[in-house]
Amino acid sequence: MNVSVNVPEELYRRATEVAAAENISVDDLFASAFEERLLEFERLKEKASRGSYQKFLRVMSKIPAVAPPEHDRL
């Protein structure tokens, strides 16, 4: 299947450099990057399914209720 995707010129330029260095096509580089990103989303979704609001509250209850140091404030 062929799909057209618009990418910024700078991203495409960098991709061509990486593809050339890896001796693969730009299409293969983008396909592998998409696949890696999709797998990352799937792993994140699976991890999230193991979490719960109660677990979150348990962890947060271990954090002392103090103001952050000056260098950590926004």
SS3 62: coil
Predicted confidence at residue 2, as pLDDT, reads 85
Question: 5: which residues sit within 8 A by CB, 6+ positions away?
Answer: 30
What tokens does 53 get? 């609001």
Predicted confidence at residue 70, as pLDDT, reads 93
Question: 56: which residues sit within 8 A by CB, 6+ positions away?
Answer: none
Predicted confidence at residue 3, as pLDDT, reads 87
Q: What's the residue count for the chain?
A: 74
Are the C-beta atoms of residues 29 and 15 closer than 8 Å to each other? yes
pLDDT tens for each residue of 45-64? 999 999 999 999 999 999 98
pTM over 0.75: no
What tokens does 63 get? 């954090």
Q: Where are the domains of the chain?
A: 9-64
Tell me the pLDDT of the chain (74 aa) as tens digits: 888 999 999 999 999 999 999 999 999 999 999 999 999 999 999 999 999 999 999 999 999 889 989 999 88
